[in-house]
Amino acid sequence: MTDMTAVPADLNALKDLLAGLDRRMSALEATMESELSAIKEQLPEDKAAIIVFSGDLDKMIAAHIIATGAATMGLETTLFFTFWGLNALKERRSLEGKNLAERMMALMTPTGSKELHPSQMAFMGAGAAMLRQMMKQKDVASLEDLMALAKEMGVRTVACEMSMEVMGVRHEELREGVELGGVASFLAEASKARVSLFI
């Protein structure tokens, strides 16, 4: 004969066991969600961050070819121009309000992309003319076309404020559409980027 008083006790124990399992599953799910969220934060995003330090024509062309290629592949791309790279962003030369060193720097550095020289075989301007002519013959886009294309594709162009201060470059000397930013803002982008380059 079955003991009827034992049945409710067994059911209650089973209910307690199931409730305990539910609590453990909920805690495990919360832990997994937290760990997955932490992993996702560490994964790179669809971004490319390129520091353009060089003011050499050939390296500037390479930077813009890579930037437009990255944008074509769907990467949110930022070009961060610093020191000599700033020369490509200049549209005009201004001496007003600058001290002697800043005026000398302005006079000795290129004003805009068309005055840049290649890193090798500059030959007092002949090297740049020859390189541009060879690119034209091979139907390769000019630096100016690449810069326009990058802007059209949404590539961000950021000028380093600290470098501008050091080299005496004023915001009004830069071409339209150039953003100003510091190292911290670039590093915030680069730390999440799939591609990070120094040119």
pLDDT at res. 4: 52
**Would you say 163 and 82 are in contact if contact means Cβ atoms under 8 Å apart?**
yes
For 181, the token pair is 């930013």
State the average pLDDT over residues 169-198. 94
23 CB-contact burial (10 Å; exposed 0-12 / middle 13-18 / buried 19+): exposed
DSSP per-residue codes, 16-83: HHHHHHHHHHHHHHHHHHHHHHHHHHHSPEEEEEEEE----HHHHHHHHHHHHHHHHTT-EEEEEE-G
pLDDT digits (tens, 9 = 90+) for 116-125: 999 999 888 8
pTM of the model: 0.78
| 13 vs 134 pLDDT, higher one | 134
pLDDT digits (tens, 9 = 90+) for 17-71: 888 888 888 888 888 888 777 766 766 889 999 999 999 999 999 999 999 999 9
Confidence of residue 75 (pLDDT cuts 50, 70, 90): very high
For 198, the token pair is 């120094």
pLDDT at res. 153: 97
pLDDT at res. 26: 87
Above 60 in pLDDT, residue 7? no
Q: What is the dihedral of CA 117, 122, 126, 130, to 10 degrees?
A: -80
Confidence of residue 2 (pLDDT cuts 50, 70, 90): low
pLDDT digits (tens, 9 = 90+) for 120-173: 998 888 999 999 999 999 999 999 999 999 999 999 999 999 999 999 999 999
Give the integer Cα–Cα distance in Å for 28 and 26: 5
Give the integer Cα–Cα distance in Å for 60 and 112: 12
